[in-house]
Amino acid sequence: MSEILEINAKDLKERAMTLSAGDKILLSGTVYTSRDAAHKRIMAMIEKGEKLPFDIENAVIYYAGPTPAPEGKAIGSCGPTTSGRMDKFAPKLLDMGLSAMIGKGERSQEVCDAIVRNKAVYLCAIGGAGALASKCITECEVIAFEDLGCESVKRLTFEKFPLVVANDCNGGDIFKTGRQTYCRIK
């Protein structure tokens, strides 16, 4: 079994060079949610030169739309959404200093190129396990676009949130290597 790395979100940018596709990590620290509708608004703000709801430099975005928090919990179910829907926005955000994205599924070649160019990383969370994932989130605060409901931008605090490095800053891609390994075994 490979080592599981514990990493703070604020250190992801500097740690990105040491991560490889397939590495398992436990992420702690501040992470922001943003999905399709919020990404569209963020891009419009960038085009207008407006101040963004959070600093993109060294930020980590989780493609998720959490459900409301049950009594006594910080958050409801909080599983990843399909990352490909954000591919048209990701290169610009990476070029602005975004350090990592969290979601599920493959990324376009343009996003993979931007990850390498910007020494960033794409992490995959386990799909279908949103209720379990929510146990690793200790705080949740809506910081922008409240009218979007579950798709509003939220500031989350992760505590040892389990993730796998899917795309590393050296061009490693778990989706490509995983297929190659599977085809060889078959």
Whether residue 21 is predicted with pLDDT greater than 90 in this model: the reply is yes
Q: Which of 114-118, 159-163, 169-173, 175-179 has the lowest mean pLDDT?
A: 175-179
Model confidence pLDDT, tens digit, residues 105-160? 999 999 999 999 999 999 999 887 888 889 999 999 999 999 999 999 999 999 99
Task: Domain ranges for the chain, please list them.
Answer: 4-185
pTM of the model: 0.94
The residue from 39, 41, 104, 107 that is catalytic is 39
Task: Identify the architecture of domain 4-185 in CATH.
Answer: Alpha-Beta Barrel (3.20)
Rounded CA-CA distance 20/3 in Å is 12
Give mean pLDDT, residues 154-174: 97
For residue 39, indicate whether it is catalytic: yes
Question: Tokens in use for 148?
Answer: 């979007």
Q: Is 66 exposed, middle or buried (0-12, 13-18, 19+ CB in 10 A)?
A: buried
Whether residue 85 is predicted with pLDDT greater than 90 in this model: the reply is yes
